[in-house]
């Protein structure tokens, strides 16, 4: 069942894409990982603080530790310090996590697998160690545990048992993708993965069709075409969207278009690859779409210009951008072409 939560931020009281080259993510060969997980350390294990002195032991409790979503250099100082000082670490995939620990120089830490298929089975033993006074860490393969990843059951059980739970801030793929998409960030709904079957997926989308604010979804690369097709048909093909791929990794990409444009791109032009976050314009964020696909008969000039600017900024040729807004927003072709030429010239001179 897809996870859904809403976030609405107050509007401010007062009145991208040219990122620098990304450094390739650090990587380590898993074959160098030790076969054994190492012996369990005593509760309150200490670690060097970077100056040779030992840091004080961690208080007993569950530490939820976000980990990099692609680039090992994104680990925070606090997360690295906590990983060195817990006595037990629950990991979605121990082999994957061992790679991160080796990168940090953490060699003697007990790892225990905790994933979708065994999380509930682990609760008894984990709670016993927490109540005995140990500091226990929780990580997923990437990002924040519990967000479309294992972790919720452990956190809920610890809270119910009166155990101290500390959640560290850190990497989360959908938050990064949302900001980079260019879509509104003051009001959004995180949906997670939609149902894999089209019928259930379309019903879920029908419930989301009138939701204000940006819709944030995860999608598997092999199923992106089907997801985009259902989104275009149920939500309207003219809705702006962004397909964020491989966020924080070497081949990071933000493809900004409409749902119809993204559908054509990833079904007719190229095959989608990598980890994908799909962000879709919410109901009421623009008058550039109608439910059931296609654009309105009289397109809003402001919406047309906004979409043209985003398409051209993303590298789409003028003719292709004009076709997009004519087909999906119902724009007048002559007016759209004139606006596209003007915007293209402005962008070519460094305009935003």
- Tally the domains of the chain: 3
List the domain range (segments joined by +) for residue 136. 36-167
Same domain, 141 and 262: no
Confidence of residue 36 (pLDDT cuts 50, 70, 90): very low
Q: What is the mean pLDDT of residues 275-286?
A: 89
Going by their DSSP bridges, the two strands 88-91 and 135-139 should be labelled as parallel
What single-letter DSSP state applies at residue 127?
A: H
What's this model's pTM, rounded to 2 decimal places?
A: 0.69
Same domain, 136 and 178: no
Query: Could you tell me how many helices (H) and strands (E) the chain has, helices first?
Result: 11, 11
Report the CATH number at residue 285. 3.30.950.10
Judge whether 238 lies within some domain.
yes
Same domain, 279 and 308: no
C-alpha span between 237 and 197 (Å, rounded)? 20
Same domain, 63 and 144: yes
State both tokens at 54: 């030992």
Helix (H) or strand (E) holding 166: strand 165-167
Query: Which residues touch 319 (CB under 8 Å, ≥6 apart)?
Result: none
Sole residue written with tokens 């696909």? 293
Same domain, 122 and 181: no
Judge whether 253 lies within some domain.
yes
Query: Is residue 282 pLDDT above 50, yes or no?
Result: yes
Same domain, 272 and 307: no
Judge whether 21 lies within some domain.
no
Sole residue written with tokens 């739970």? 165
Judge whether 183 lies within some domain.
yes
Answer whether 231's CB lies under 8 Å from 280's CB: yes
What is the per-residue pLDDT across 221-263, written as a single tens digit (0 to 9) for each?
999 999 999 999 999 999 999 999 999 999 999 999 999 999 9
Report the CATH number at residue 141. 3.40.1010.10
Same domain, 217 and 157: no
Same domain, 239 and 219: yes
Last residue of a domain, one of 293, 312, 333: 293
Between the alpha carbon of residue 18 and those of residues 69, 256, 278, 301, 347, the distances in Å are 21, 14, 20, 26, 12
Same domain, 180 and 238: yes
State both tokens at 343: 């915007």
Helix (H) or strand (E) holding 301: helix 301-313
- Please, what sign has the CA dihedral across residues 114, 118, 119, 124? negative
Judge whether 255 lies within some domain.
yes
Last residue of a domain, one of 293, 310, 339: 293
Same domain, 260 and 281: yes
Q: Which of 120, 121, 134 is nearest to 43 (CA)?
A: 134
Judge whether 16 lies within some domain.
no
C-alpha span between 141 and 93 (Å, rounded)? 6
Query: Which residues touch 15 (CB under 8 Å, ≥6 apart)?
Result: none
Last residue of a domain, one of 167, 192, 210: 167
Same domain, 53 and 159: yes
Judge whether 15 lies within some domain.
no
pLDDT on residue 294: 39
Answer whether 87's CB lies under 8 Å from 43's CB: yes
Same domain, 303 and 267: no
Q: Which of 34-38, 140-144, 165-169, 259-263 has the lowest mean pLDDT?
A: 34-38
Question: What's the chain's average pLDDT?
Answer: 82
Answer whether 122's CB lies under 8 Å from 156's CB: no
Judge whether 26 lies within some domain.
no
């Amino acid at each position: 069942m897809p996870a859904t939560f809403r976030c609405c931020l107050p509007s401010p009281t007062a009145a991208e894409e040219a990122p620098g080259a990304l450094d390739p993510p650090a990587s380590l060969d898993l074959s160098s990982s030790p076969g054994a997980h190492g012996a369990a350390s005593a509760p309150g294990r200490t670690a060097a603080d970077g100056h040779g002195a030992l840091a004080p032991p961690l208080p007993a409790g569950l530490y939820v530790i976000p980990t990099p979503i692609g680039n090992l250099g994104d680990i925070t100082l606090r997360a690295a310090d906590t990983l060195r000082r817990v006595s037990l670490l629950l990991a979605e995939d121990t082999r994957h996590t061992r790679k991160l620990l080796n990168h940090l120089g953490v060699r003697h830490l007990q790892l225990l697998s905790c994933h979708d298929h065994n999380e509930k089975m682990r609760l008894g033993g984990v709670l016993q160690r927490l109540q005995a006074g140990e500091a226990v860490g929780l990580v997923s393969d990437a990002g924040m545990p519990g967000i479309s990843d294992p972790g919720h059951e452990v956190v809920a059980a610890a809270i119910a048992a009166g155990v101290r739970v500390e959640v560290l801030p850190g990497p989360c793929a959908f938050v990064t993708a949302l900001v980079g998409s260019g879509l509104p960030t003051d009001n959004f709904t995180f949906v997670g993965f939609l149902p894999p079957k089209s019928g259930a997926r379309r019903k879920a989308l029908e419930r989301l069709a009138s939701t204000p604010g940006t819709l944030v979804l995860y999608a598997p690369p092999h199923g992106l075409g089907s997801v985009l097709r259902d989104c275009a048909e149920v939500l309207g093909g003219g809705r702006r969207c962004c397909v964020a791929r491989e966020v924080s990794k070497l081949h990071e990409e933000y493809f900004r278009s409409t749902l119809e444009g993204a559908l054509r791109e990833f079904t007719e032009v190229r095959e989608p690859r990598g980890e994908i976050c799909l962000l879709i314009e919410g109901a009421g964020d623009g008058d550039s779409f109608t439910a059931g696909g296609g654009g309105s008969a009289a397109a809003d000039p402001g919406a047309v210009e906004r979409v043209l600017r985003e398409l051209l900024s993303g590298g789409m040729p003028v003719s292709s951008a004009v076709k997009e807004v004519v087909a999906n927003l119902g724009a007048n072709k002559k007016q759209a072409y004139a606006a596209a030429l003007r915007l293209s010239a402005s962008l070519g001179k460094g305009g935003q």
